[in-house]
Structure 1
Amino acid sequence: MFSAFSRFSLLLALAVIAAYVALIHWGPYFGIAAAIVVLSIPLIYSYINLSRLGKYLAADNLENMPLPSGFWEEVFFRLQRLVQNLKSRAQAIDQQHNRFIEAFQASPNGIVMLDDEDQIEWCNSLAESFFGLNFRRDARQRINFLLRRPEFIQYLGKRQFEESIIIERMGPDSNLSLLIQAFPYGEKRHLLLIQDVTDLQKADAMRRDFVANVSHEMRTPITVLMGFLETVQSIELDKPQQDHYFDLMMLQAQRMKSLVEDLLTLANLEANAIPASTQVVQLNTLMALIKNDAEALSQGSHGFSFEQKTTQNLFGDERELLSAFSNLVSNAIRYTPNGGSITACWGLNEQGQGEFSVTDTGPGIASEHLPRLTERFYRVDRSRSRDTGGTGLGLAIVKHIANRHQAQLLIESTPGKGSTFTLRFPKDRVANTETDLFSAIQA
């Protein structure tokens, strides 16, 4: 294929030859005329192709490029190849842009891009939810006009973005805590990164409460012990008085021991995310152990009824189940006045789920306290709880054991009438009496 320059040179040579031939045969006028005619043909051809090229470049659609012949063919060919290269690059850039958008949309954090005037250039859907934005509506709006929280406006105005801020009561339901930090990039632009720290804030608050509660629970018996020791050291006591003080000190020491044991039990349960074992637990044996412990704790002050309405057993960890069942029964004993009655029952509901329930005739619990009963150290009546010897961790332990057995802890209570605590186990945790027991023995 000749280049455009080569073809033009050939055409020019033909024009010179034609002019020379005409000059020899017909004179100078005919020679000049012949040269003009020969040169006019490519000029007209070029004009036509330039017009076609102008229309093509002015059109929005660059797909249908004209394909002339002659020396313009190479020009259009090169232009077409350039257009295809530019189109491929544009498609690659567009695909990369879409991948960036998809990545930002998949981010677990809210993202807002601001220009040099703090106007919104782009934000992901999570940021829209956090700030109540709508990108199509709010694009190019100043962010401080849309988020009118004083702490945020002050943070944005100071331009000191080394630190982050936490804004409370955000989100669709005004129940989120958001950590916000701005990162400079480009020419005076900023990237807002928004992280939901609600759970972290709650965990931190629980940690502070836990430390405060443990300190408080330990301080009381330690203070009492120190008081008794000072008394024994400073005052001459006879044997009965010494025995009395030693008994009181032993009681406080036992209280601290129970607290430490419950804390260790709770820590072990929280650290063990693996579901409980699937060994068959004999419920008749478990009920007998619970009954003996309950009668010893009550010392004849309560009436008991232990009912086993099914011979089905449970798949689970015997030690953990004994702890959970005993905690429910001992709680009922502690909070039921002398002369009251307590019923512990194991059976199946209509859906075939296993249920262990403890019902008492105690004072009952107001409804506002029910959601918080399984929190560590939560007490409806703090003074009475300490008098009865509870550590404040029993129901927290029960809840964790229930979770490890895929069970639910259900609480029903009516003030003045009593309470019912139920552990409901899924059907696949209920063991067939003979078949599953034989399989467990074989294993």
Structure 2
Amino acid sequence: MASSALRPDGNRHHVVIIGAGFGGVNAAQELADADVDITLINSTNHHLFPPLLYQVATGLMSAGEVTGDIRQMFAKQQNIRVVRGTVETIDIEGKTVTSVESGKESTFAYDSLIVAAGAGQSYFGNDHFAEFAPGLKTLDHAYEIRARLIAAFERAELAETPEEREEALTFVIVGAGPTGVELAGQVAEMAHRAFTSGRYSFSTEQSKIYLLDGAPQVLPPFGKRLGKKAQRELEKAGVTVVLNAMVTNVDADSVTYKDMKTEQESTIKTPTKIWSAGVAASPLGKQVAEQIGVEADRAGKVEVNPDLSVGDQPNVFIIGDMMNRDRLPGVAQVAIQSGAYVGKTIKDQIEHDIAPEDRAPFEYFDKGSMAIINRFNAVVKMGKVEITGFIGWLMWLGVHLSFLTGSRNRLVAANEWTINAFSRARHNLAVTEGQLPTANLEDGEK
């Protein structure tokens, strides 16, 4: 162990947690009353609620409702230290973690390590698409997408020909999973409802919204019935759903896709694209896997043991979106439950001297999947129970409110959703000069 490595004073077991997403936060909370010291390292100062990022991007919510300041979240927990930094190196043999913040490098020694750094957007080997089709994984992504959406309508306002306006009012979302479906529904609501009240000199209902996916249905994990229901509702809302469509190129002005049945290529002219077609685990997972000698799949997910430890390292855990175990989906509930499980596992080891070989395996309880299509309309799958429409929408609201951080965020979110349900108003559409995608605007439009 490096002599410069930092650890709390005293001899207590030191747990280092990388990432303050659902997994990392729940692990730390589970260890709140344990006889351990915790160092929680995160690249931002906030805990993020990713399932609602699309609402920030489309002006329904502000950043404050989908985030929580990490230090305030743990203000009453005495055994935790919060460190802001980007982890660059994990040394399994030396049992250290090295992070960098503002050019300063810090190394932390650990007794137990929880890697919960989450996942980013995957472009399936076409990373150059990201310049023209941002994903939606961070607040910065949400701000960028909001700016691109607003810029599209402003571009249409300045259009000199019908063709120019039609191109400006064309939007393409790639990926028909929950994020893509929810984004498509909200972009349609912006164009066909929120922006129709005379803000522009043209009809925003001219907008064309395309949802592309290589799969044969939308929302594949929800099953065929709910997938077809969601597709019908999207189409009624004005979204053109194109399935079996593999995107082959994305540039500043267009998206090209190939019909996987006919092999025919088609191009949609549009400056506004959003990518929600895949995820890639944090590269820290592969770094750990290579040192320990275990498998990482193409998406960077690491094969873990039944107790979520990695290989022959019983005190190194990978959880949430970064782990590959029983084909579990990359959803919030997996991260929450795996984080709490690992926190309890470490606590039992310290306080009850439970050996690694005696640990009970992690068992995931599937609480169901939900996706909101538009106002008053959602699809819910809970085991064999499938719910759609208004009841599904109410269930979606209740579940997402319960997971927001803090009573203030829940109150504000509930208020915003109520206003949106009964009016066309959207109160979070501000875009700054720094967020405007000026690279996609002509000089006269800046």
Is the TM value for this pair above 0.5? Answer: no
Place the TM-score, normalised by the shorter chain, in its bin. Answer: under 0.3
**Bigger Rg, structure 1 or 2:** 1
Greater relative CO, 1 or 2 (CA 8 Å, sep 6+): 2
Q: TM-score, normalised by structure 1?
A: 0.20
* Between structures 1 and 2, the one with greater helix share: 1
